[in-house]
Homo-oligomer: A and B are copies of this chain.
């Protein structure tokens, strides 16, 4: 049975969504979950749920907690007994096959890299964001924030890792991989994208060339490759825009009685729509390239998001993503990987 560790103190509402999500995962997915955090706090939350006594859920004590105000460096250097660090250590020590955290993203990445180490051949682990598209098939964007100022070779590594993730976890048969740029023609872009282009073309993947920002959401590409600065801007622009649209639409829908009645009648449509664009269905963003598994959730994750992140962590392990990355890198480097 697969075991996934959950940083129970990570998210903005911790430990409630973490504990609730762990219960849902243990019930629905048949995985064992280790909740890591202050034992008294986590147990109290667990006990507020009836009928979870028979589930495969354990609590592992960790006395400290990383906050959003801790820098990634501080999280790594001090707080050696933080829930995040202890969860990562459980993966390193093979007590769990992966861990999930809704905590401080920078701290999660730094901790996982340092404690678990990187997959042989990987220069820099990268965060893969998964987003809904108009076509229904989700798109992977890599990197969405781990690495700024990337080299072309790093982008090529992201392409390989993202392709494997899309194929194995998202079941895309021959994922179309595109390079995020500002025009489809090969010469369009900046120095970095132009330098990365020949490298990406040489990879044994279905590389479709440059794609533009608007293509992310159309479903014409399965894996969008970019440096972490661009990826993070694209991710946060999207978040901000969705928030604005929600606010404006709500205001417009509540402005008159007739509109309000219409809104009530069509409410199911909005629920349906929200479910379709709901990030929580996608279960967080995997940090690709670290040993073991690490799934990073949004700080505002609800129980459904945590449950799905646990599912992804389990699939990540059973799909042998890391072994595939390692062997692909070894083949690509002609045996140099891991030297």
A149 within 8 A of B: yes
A215 to B237, CA, bound (A): 8
> With A149-B191, A213-B236, A233-B182 known to touch, is A273 a contact of B244 (CB < 8 Å)?
no
A238 within 8 A of B: yes
Contact residues, A256-301 vs B (CB, 8 A):
256, 258-270, 272-273, 276-277
Contact residues, A222-263 vs B (CB, 8 A):
226-230, 232-245, 247-249, 252-253, 255-256, 258-263
What is the interface residue range for chain A against chain B? Answer: 35 or more
Which residues of the partner chain B approach A266 to less than 8 Å between Cβ atoms?
253, 258-263, 266
Is there an interface contact between B145 and A244, defined as CB atoms closer than 8 Å?
no
B190, B229, B273: the one contacting A248 at CB < 8 Å is: B273
A332 within 8 A of B: no
A75 within 8 A of B: no
> With A148-B182, A233-B230, A245-B277 known to touch, is A240 a contact of B217 (CB < 8 Å)?
yes
A133 within 8 A of B: yes
Q: How many copies does the complex hold?
A: 2
Instruction: Name the CB-closest residue of B to A253.
Output: B269
A26 within 8 A of B: no
Which residues of the partner chain B approach A265 to less than 8 Å between Cβ atoms?
258-259, 261-262, 265
A93 to B292, CA, bound (A): 68
Which residues of the partner chain B approach A22 to less than 8 Å between Cβ atoms?
none
Interface string of A159-193 (1 = CB under 8 A from B): 00000000000000000000011100000011100
Is there an interface contact between B243 and A145, defined as CB atoms closer than 8 Å?
no
Instruction: Name the CB-closest residue of B to A219.
Output: B244
B180, B233, B262, B272: the one contacting A263 at CB < 8 Å is: B262
Instruction: Name the CB-closest residue of B to A273.
Output: B252
Q: List 22 A-B contacts (CB under 8 A).
A: A134-B244, A148-B182, A149-B191, A182-B236, A212-B236, A213-B237, A214-B243, A215-B240, A216-B241, A217-B241, A218-B240, A229-B230, A230-B230, A238-B238, A248-B273, A248-B277, A252-B270, A258-B265, A259-B269, A260-B266, A262-B264, A262-B267
Contacts A216-B240, A241-B242 known; list 11 others, CB within 8 Å.
A133-B244, A134-B244, A134-B247, A189-B229, A217-B244, A218-B243, A229-B230, A230-B233, A233-B234, A249-B273, A255-B272
